[in-house]
Amino acid sequence: MRAWRLVATRHAATALDGVGAARYGGRWNPPSLPMVYLADSLALATLELSVHLTGGRITYTAIELEVPERSITDLDPADLRRSWRRDVAVTRRVGEAWVRSERSLALRVPSALVDARSGERNLLLAPRHAAMSQVREVQRFPVTLDERL
């Protein structure tokens, strides 16, 4: 599966270590738990990033990755509580349980920003998983987002 990561250029060298997510926590991980957030399209990666922007033109690096399909577990949105979009504690518990289980390198999850019926998904990587070495970088290039985002 091809997936995208959009990261501030100053962090591009460490884009796959999960340290930023561990430092601050995220929708699918509590603080102290490393996780790498990807999206199945560059457009979704941009949308996911845009909710965290505070304005200004910042240069990002787009990184396209190839993640082996056999290493991905799918999370059915129907298995989540109805309140999952509003209650980050719910999704953090799901993500933490998945990482700690070590059953797969990646977990395909719904986006909280796009209706699940769209078919677009985010992909979570467990950077300390033994299969992380199977993730292959396809390409990377600079992206400057419009300040209106």
Kindly report, residue by residue over 69-124, the tens digit of the pLDDT: 999 999 999 999 989 999 999 999 999 999 999 999 999 999 999 887 888 999 99
The predicted pLDDT at position 58 comes to 76
Rounded-to-integer distance, Cα 97 and Cα 93, Å:
6
Would you kindly state where each structural domain of the chain is located, as residue ranges?
2-144
The pTM is what? 0.93
Rounded-to-integer distance, Cα 143 and Cα 62, Å:
6
Q: Which of 103, 145, 147, 139 is nearest to 124 (CA)?
A: 103
Q: What percent of the chain has pLDDT over 90?
A: 83
